[in-house]
Amino acid sequence: MAARNQVYLLIELMIIAIASLEKPALCRARKGRWQLLLNNTGVVAMHMAVTHLNTVIMFDQTGAGPSSYRLRRSFTSGRRCADDSSDESCYAHSIEYDISSNYIRAMRLETDPWCSSGSFLSDGTILQTGGYGNGSRRIRYFRPCRDGWCDWVQSKTSMSSRRWYASNQNLPENDRVLVVGGRRVFSYEFVPKLSLLDESHDLPFLRQTYDGNGGENNLYPFLHLSSDGNLFIFANRDSILFDYRRHKVVKTFPRMPGKGSRSYPSSGSSVILPLEHGHQFRKVEVMVCGGAAPGAHRAAGRGKFLKGLKSCGRMEITGNKHQWKMENMPGRRLMNDMIILPTGHILIINGARRGSAGWNNGADPSLVPYLYKPEKTLGRRFSTLTSTEIVRLYHSSASLLPDGRILVAGGNPNQQYMFENVTYPTELRLQAFIPHYMDRRYHKYRPENVTIETRGDLSVKYGEDFTVRFWLGRKLSKVVEFSVYAPPFTTHSLSMNQRLLKLSSKNMVRDATKGWVHVTVEAPPSPYIAPSGYYMLTVVNGGIPSTSQWIRFIRA
C-alpha cells in the first residue's frame, strides 16, 4: 500500500514538474512553500479554531488513548495520576497553541467531544457542542485569555438531542447558534434555547437525504447563512433554503449533478464565496467540491477503495434562477479542507483520492494543494501548488492565521494513537503552508503597520465608518481591497461559519513623503451579512495582503 502511494505521488509530481517547465520562473515561484513548526503537538487536531488573541485551540476525542501530555490529576475522578498510568483521563486531549511563540499549553476536557461542532460567540468565546457518549448533549465554552490560565468550562445546561456529527451556524440574533443534524438525529435546535420549553425541531430534509445503505451520507451538513437571513442547508446531494424563524423550507434547490455524495462520510467540502459590497452583499454563491463515489463507505470496509470525485459545483442561492455550474478540480479529492484566503481565492488542501472518511477508509493521500480563483473564466480557475510530504487524511484540519499562513495539523485514521505497523500512522507534526504572496520579493507591495481606529476596544457598529491606517513605501496599486474574514471552527472537512466580505472604502489619502495611507472603510450593514463577533481585517494591495488585524462588529 505504501509503495503504491509513493508511485501515485511520483506520477503527480512528475506531471506538475513537466507543466512547470513550460512556465517562466515567476510562475513556478507562485506555488508557495511549506514550513514545519513542531514535530509533536501531543494531541491530534481533529478540531481546530483560531482565536482573536492569536492562539489556536486544537482538540481530539477523549477516547483515543493516552496523548503526549500527562495531567497531574484525572479530569474525571480528581485523583492523582500515577507516572505509569494508562488511564485516558490522566492525559490532556486539548491544547492551546500560541502562534507567535510556537508554544503549546495542555488543557482539560471533561466529556468526549469526538466528532462535535462549534462556533464563536460575539465576545470571541468558543461555543462547542455535542460529541460522543457522555459528551453527545454537552455544551462547552472556552473564553480566550492572555494569562494562560483559561480552560474549557462545561455548561450546566444540555442540548435536547444527542449531537454527534452535527453542524453549527451562527445566527443574526446575537449569540444564538443553530445546531443541525447528528447521527440518526433528523432535527435542529437552538443554543441557547428560545425558551425553557423549547426542544429539538424536526427537519424532514435530513430524513429525505439519509442513505441507510451507504453510510448515511448526510452527516455534518453544510450550512451557510444567506444575506436574506435564511439558512442554506446541503446534505448528501440536495439542498434547501430554510427559514429557521418560521421552521419552513422556502426553496428547494436542484440536485447537484453527478453520482456520489458530498456529505460525511463521503466528505467533500463547501464554502460560501466572498460577499462583495459591489453587489450590496446581496449576491450569495456557494461552492461544493469533492466527495466519494456511490457505495464508497461500504466498499472501504471490505478493503476496496473507490475513486473519489473530482467535480465542484457553484450555485447562486439568492435571486430566482438556481443552477449548479459544474467544473473539475485537477484531481480527485475527498476529506479536503477549503479555506478562503484574504485575496478571495480558495485553497483546497488535505484529504485522499480514494475511499471515504472513517477509520482506515481512505487511501492515496492528496498531497498537492489546489488554488481556485472564482473570478477567472471557466477552465482557468484551478492551479496546483507545492506538494507536502506529510499525509493528512481522516481527522486533519487547516485554518487561516492572521499572518497569512495556513496552519495544517492532525491526521489519524486509527481508533487509537498508533505510530507504527499501520499504513497511515497517527500524525502529530504541525505545519504551515505559506502562500507565494508572502515571499520577500513582494514586501515592497505589502501594506505594513496596519492599524484600525475604533472606539478603543476594536468594536465597530454595523454600517458605521471607521479608519484604517497603513504604511506603503511605493505608489498604491489600482486595486486596493479591504477584506474581513470570520475565523471558522474546523473539523471533518468543514469550516463552520467561515465567510469573507470585501468592504466598501472611500477617502483614501496617501502622504507621498512619509508613505502613510488613511482610508475610511464602511462596516457591514447588518448581522445578516456578518454575524456579530471578531473578524480578521486585511488590506490587499494589488493582490498582496497585509498581516491581518482583529476587528469586532457589534450591534448598536
**Residue 500 to residue 121: CA distance in whole angstroms:** 17
Among residues 529, 451, 453, which one has the least CA distance to residue 283? 529
CA 296 to chain centre: 24
499 burial (CB, 10 Å; 0-12 / 13-18 / 19+) is: buried
Q: Which residues make Cβ contacts (< 8 Å) with residue 225, sequence separation at least 6?
A: 169, 170, 171, 172, 231, 232, 272, 499, 528, 531
Give me 236's grid cell: 448528501
In the chain, where the domains are located: 32-281+394-438, 443-554
DSSP-based helix, strand, coil % in the chain, nearest 5: 10, 40, 50
- The secondary element (H helix, E strand) that includes residue 87 is none
What is the number of alpha carbons within 13 Å of residue 183 lying toward its C-beta?
Answer: 14
pLDDT score, position 75: 65
Give me 303's grid cell: 478493503
Q: What is the pLDDT of residues 469-487, one digit of tens each?
A: 999 988 999 999 999 999 9
Tell me: domain 32-281+394-438, CATH 2.120.10, correct? yes
513 burial (CB, 10 Å; 0-12 / 13-18 / 19+) is: exposed
CA 544 to chain centre: 22
**Residue 90 to residue 106: CA distance in whole angstroms:** 12
Distances (CA, A) of 191 to 109, 159, 255, 467: 20, 8, 30, 35
Q: Which residues of 391-421 are buried (b: 16+ CB within 10 A; e: fewer)?
A: bbbbbbbbbbbbebbbbbbbbbbbeebeeee
Strand pairing category for 94-98 and 549-554 = unpaired
Residue with cell 460529541: 131
Q: Can you tell me whether residue 492 is helix, strand or coil?
A: coil
Phi-psi category of 504—alpha, beta or left, where left has phi over 0 and alpha has psi -120 to 50? beta
Among residues 367, 368, 358, 369, which one has the least CA distance to residue 412? 358
What is the number of alpha carbons within 13 Å of residue 319 lying toward its C-beta?
Answer: 12
Give me 189's grid cell: 435546535
Q: What is the pLDDT of residues 487-498, one digit of tens each?
A: 999 999 999 999
30 DSSP assignment: G
Give me 344's grid cell: 478571495
**Residue 47 to residue 61: CA distance in whole angstroms:** 9
Report pTM: 0.93
Give me 76's grid cell: 474525571
Give the bridge partners for 187, in sequence order. 202
**Residue 154 to residue 141: CA distance in whole angstroms:** 6
Residue with cell 464565496: 273
Q: Which residues of 160-181 are buried (b: 16+ CB within 10 A; e: fewer)?
A: bbbbbbbbbbbbebebbbbbbb
- CATH T-level topology, domain 443-554: Immunoglobulin-like (2.60.40)
- The secondary element (H helix, E strand) that includes residue 131 is none
Residue 222 · residue 183 · CB < 8 Å: no
Q: What is the pLDDT of residues 408-422, one digit of tens each?
A: 999 999 999 999 999
pLDDT score, position 73: 74
Which residue ranges of the chain lie beneath pLDDT 50?
1-27
Q: Can you tell me whether residue 207 is helix, strand or coil?
A: helix
Q: Which residues make Cβ contacts (< 8 Å) with residue 526, sequence separation at least 6?
A: 172, 462, 463
